[in-house]
Each structure stands twice: as structure tokens, then as C-alpha cells.
């Protein structure tokens, strides 16, 4: 099961919007994109990137934001045969894993650094996501990294299929 959400980040030039696609079992951030507008295109791009690299999830969860309910976003999921799960309005707890990730990202990276440009932000986020997936241990994952959890799950799936 994958989940997604959008958060905003403030730069000197204004706000930008960040979407992330996360595997809920491993907490691995599969893909992300930044946009200066709230249209659906950057969300669709992140979804296609994640599916191109990691395959197709059984279930995809998001809130009912206009980006996730857009024709283009829904079409990508339906065409791939993905079951769509959307949170009820005002139910932030339904997507708690991504919400907690936003908090972690902001406190461990965004608030500690002063990103002045979009280019600088993209570079910094690339480094943070690499660290988060590969080097940051999670208590809830028995002190393993998201990459370790994701790979162990993939091995279990392959062994079960054999």
C-alpha cells in the first residue's frame, strides 16, 4: 500500500509545494516532486515515476485534494488496476505516516537550513531523501532503515511466489 500527500515549503521567492509517494510498510519515500503551483501535474509525475521504478501498488491512499481526485491522477491509478482509498474530509489521522514524515523532514532538514532558491531546495531534498531512505533508522521498523525494510519485503514476496 502506498500513500501520498502534499505539503508547502516557504522560500524567499514564495511558497512551493512538495508531493511524496510513500510505501507504508517500509516508510520508504518512493518518489517526490516540487511545484510552484498546485496543479495536478507534479503529483501525476511523481506517481508515474514511482510506478515506473517500483511497480504497481495494490492500494493507493491519499486525501481528497483536487490533485488526487483529478481526472489524470485517477486515470493513472485505474489504468494500472490500483484500488483507490481516499481519506474522509478532515481526517488527517488516516494519512498519519505521511503527515509524520512531513514533520520529520521539516524538523530534521527544512527548518535547520535556509534554502534560498528552488535549485538549492531540490538539491537539499535529494540529499535528505537519500539519507532518510538509506541511513535513518526508525524505531517503528525495529531500528532498520526504510530501504532495508523495503528490500526484505521484496525478498519475501519473491520467495512466496517461487
pLDDT digits (tens, 9 = 90+) for 65-102: 889 999 999 999 999 999 999 876 655 566 788 999 99
Q: Which CATH class is domain 2-161?
A: alpha beta
Helices 118-134 and 146-161, packing angle to 10 deg? 60
**Residue 159: pLDDT over 80:** no
pLDDT at residue 131, rounded to an integer: 97
Percentage of the chain with pLDDT > 90? 72
Q: Mean pLDDT score of the chain, rounded to an integer?
A: 91
pLDDT at residue 91, rounded to an integer: 59
pLDDT at residue 142, rounded to an integer: 84
pLDDT at residue 77, rounded to an integer: 97
What would the mean pLDDT of 44-66 be, rounded to a whole number?
Answer: 94
Q: Where are the domains of the chain?
A: 2-161
Residue 141 banded pLDDT, cuts 50, 70, 90: confident
Which long-range contacts does 7-16 make (Cβ < 8 Å, 24+ apart)?
A: 7/102, 7/105, 7/106, 9/34, 9/110, 9/115, 9/121, 11/115, 11/116, 11/117, 11/118, 11/121, 12/116, 12/117, 13/117, 13/118, 16/118, 16/121
Residue 23 banded pLDDT, cuts 50, 70, 90: very high
pTM score, whole prediction: 0.90
Amino acid at each position: 500500500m502506498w500513500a501520498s500527500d502534499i505539503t508547502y515549503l516557504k522560500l524567499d521567492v514564495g511558497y512551493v509545494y512538495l508531493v511524496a509517494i510513500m510505501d507504508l510498510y517500509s516508510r520508504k519515500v518512493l518518489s517526490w516532486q516540487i511545484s510552484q503551483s498546485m496543479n495536478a501535474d507534479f503529483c501525476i509525475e511523481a506517481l508515474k515515476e514511482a510506478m515506473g521504478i517500483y511497480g504497481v501498488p495494490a492500494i493507493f491512499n491519499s486525501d481528497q485534494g483536487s490533485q488526487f481526485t483529478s481526472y489524470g491522477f485517477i486515470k493513472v491509478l485505474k489504468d494500472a488496476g490500483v484500488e483507490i482509498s481516499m481519506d474522509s474530509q478532515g481526517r488527517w489521522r488516516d494519512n498519519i505516516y505521511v503527515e509524520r514524515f512531513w514533520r520529520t523532514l521539516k524538523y530534521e532538514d527544512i527548518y535547520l537550513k535556509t534554502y534560498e532558491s528552488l535549485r538549492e531546495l531540490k538539491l537539499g531534498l535529494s540529499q535528505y531523501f537519500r539519507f532518510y531512505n538509506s541511513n535513518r533508522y526508525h524505531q517503528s521498523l525495529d531500528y532498520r532503515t526504510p530501504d532495508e525494510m523495503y528490500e526484505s519485503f521484496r525478498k519475501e514476496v519473491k520467495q512466496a511466489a517461487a
